Amino acid sequence: SIPLLQAARKRNSLNLLGLNEAELEEQFVRGDGPGGQATNKTNNCVVLKHIPSGIVVKCHQTRSVEKNRKIAREILQEKVDLFYKGEDSDVFKEQKASEKKKQERKRRARENLERKKVFKEMQQLDKK
């Protein structure tokens, strides 16, 4: 139920497919969003495309081009791994485990709220 390519960039996985630099197309463009002149006048946003799969990653997390290049490659590597391995990918498995934990926390919170509600009702009945 999680789109495969949206699961990327959640955690560091060790068992990822490698990227070949010859298969990458890199561009530097102006970023968007908050930042004013620092954002609008510098080309520090990195757009990285994996040619065989057609996956495109845009990274503008920092003001440094080198850091954005590194982050973009990490994100692209995870997305390419997801693209080729699908549900067998470590990234996908970590995302599924994370979703399961989140659902468990929500379930426990709902149960606690229900218990508190019942407890308050019992207190109000005892007062009457």
CATH number of the domain that 48 lies in?
3.30.160.20
Could you tell me if 62 and 38 are in contact, meaning their C-beta atoms sit under 8 angstroms apart? no
Do 73 and 93 belong to one domain? no
Do 80 and 26 belong to one domain? yes
pLDDT band (50, 70, 90) for residue 67: very high
Do 95 and 117 belong to one domain? yes
Residue 47 lies in a domain: yes
Strands (E), 1-127: 24-29, 45-50, 55-59
Average pLDDT over every residue of 105-116: 95
Do 98 and 78 belong to one domain? no
The more confidently predicted of residues 102 and 41 is 102
How does pLDDT run across 33-61, given as a tens digit for each residue?
777 776 777 888 999 999 998 999 999 88
Residue 6 lies in a domain: no
